[in-house]
Structure 1
Amino acid sequence: MVFGIRPAGCVPSQRTLAGGKSRACVEEYNECSQLVNSKLSAEIDYLNNKLPQYIIVCVDIYNPFLDLIQNPQNYGFEVADKGCCGTGVIDVTFLCNKYTGTCPDHNKYVFWDNFLPTGSAYRILVHQIL
């Protein structure tokens, strides 16, 4: 299994850095993700034809993840535009620590930090994909 690229323009860090005052998803970045995914899928098709003894599957993560971000309430989430840890807008790894704190209930957040989904979001994505 080869996983595609998620909607890069909708992760909290990119919304903060390039999404303007409204922190909207950055469509150009999402278009880049879709381009990479289409090229990846074509390459997987080529490899499957070239190597028939193997089964290689390209897993679409882009669309399920985008739906989770655009419709968080459908999945039991309340916050999809910022992360649970720190300020939620630009914190990641070492900036998410015992001094910056986390949100009261990470199960209400799609993102743990500015890049990574929460465990709850991962569980939903895995169930959608498999």
Structure 2
Amino acid sequence: MKITGILNHSISEVIASMGHYQEIVICDAGFPIPPGVKRIDLSLTPGMPAFLVVLKTVLLELCVEEVVIAEETGIHSPARLLDIRNIFSELTPTVIPHTEFKQRSKTAIACIRSGECTPYSNIILVSGVTY
């Protein structure tokens, strides 16, 4: 058994396999995960686990170079946008329409589904390199 880090086998495996510029999505409970993209469904009940808990846990192991969010996040969930900006204070999120966000998710390595029910609690993390 692992001593530290992410215990979830699927998440750990995906992060370990990612290369530079590859993408992973962390999404809310209602996000339409595209067919063919690896689904890692963590949802248990509405709100559990929370989007921010999943995001912060993934960031313990993933080097992120860019983040992508839907422009609707700031319109419908401004507090969530503020959370994301605070977590990624060194990065300026790329903001695209939600329809484009859904299209882009089709090429992600995986989608991690949280139990979050706050609208537009979705993010694409673009992997960086540690050197």
User: TM-score range with shorter-chain normalisation?
Assistant: under 0.3
Higher helix fraction: Structure 1 or Structure 2? 1
Q: Larger C-alpha radius of gyration, 1 or 2?
A: 1
TM-score for the superposition, normalised by structure 1 = 0.26
RCO higher in structure (CA 8 A, sep ≥6): 2
TM-score for the superposition, normalised by structure 2 = 0.26
